Amino acid sequence: MLQGAYTAMVTPFKAGAVDFDRLRDNVQFQIDHGIDGLVPVGTTGESPTLSHAEHGQVIEATVNAAAGRVPVIAGTGSNSTDEALSLTRHAKSVGADMALMVNPYYNKPTQEGLYRHFMTVADEVGLPIVLYNIPGRTNITMAPQTVARLAEHEKIVAVKEATGSLDIASEIASLCDITIISGDDSLTLPLMSIGGKGVISVLSNLMPAAIKQLVEAGLSGDFAAARERHLKLFAMCKGCLTLATNPIPIKTAMKLVGADTGELRLPLCEMDEPAAAALETLLQDQKLLSP
């Protein structure tokens, strides 16, 4: 069963190129701090700005650096079914354990189109698939009924729920037994209260042990301890997703603590000064940065 704390990995850049040395260091940092799995080239990994070659190289480098110690769920989604097939086949060929597939964006398929898109990849590639429902990025919401239809396929094993709606997550849980994983750090605990099994986290790039502790408490049924950790992390979780577009805040935070260059690729750019100052305060509150 897919459960636990997984990190939606940033893609490190240095002088405009992918920094594979830093990527390997980041993988090691995550494993050293007990993370349950790694998710490269998703939203946080700036996948829209990577070339197809870079996309494949980042997945392969992450798989190689993980070396079987934790599972790798490779981002392989696209608004083109043919392209999603190609990316997912490549991920399988280099040893990824699962594929994270976002709803097709921009072309706004119908629910039937969404169903056929994911079923085609599941049928033709055979790599376990985690659906990724994030309407804020794709302008399309996969209906709970569509998720339930897809869950009948043995290779569609989970949904990363990033709609921000507990109603949608609750309806999915009422219709089928697909594994629900939070796609928003601030909603990990609320989703676990209705049966969610963990999170694909942005903040765990910086604080993997803290995110793991929250999830472990929830999975063990110790919701008092989970609530305490949730409230302690809540402002930091919200800041990473609201001070600027993800992954701008998390990459800035990693730069401030010396864990990344902080480089982004256009059209993403650096934070403005008030937002950066607010982020510094959050890091100080978490004792990750001295005043």
Residues with catalytic function: 132, 160
**DSSP secondary structure letter of residue 288:** S
Q: How far apart are CA 132 and CA 130, in angstroms?
A: 6
Q: What is the dihedral of CA 21, 27, 33, 35, to 10 degrees?
A: 170
Instruction: Give the CA angle between residues 248, 183, 204 to the nearest 5°.
Output: 60
82-87 — which CB contacts under 8 Å span 24+ positions? 84/117, 84/121, 85/120, 85/121, 85/124, 85/125, 86/52, 87/52, 87/55, 87/56
CB of 261 closer than 8 Å to CB of 255: yes
Q: How far apart are CA 2 and CA 255, in angstroms?
A: 31
CB of 177 closer than 8 Å to CB of 169: no
**DSSP secondary structure letter of residue 103:** P
Q: How far apart are CA 47 and CA 54, in angstroms?
A: 9
CB contact set of 157 (below 8 Å; sequence gap of 6+):
2, 98, 128, 129, 130, 178, 179
CB of 26 closer than 8 Å to CB of 205: yes
Q: How far apart are CA 238 and CA 73, in angstroms?
A: 24
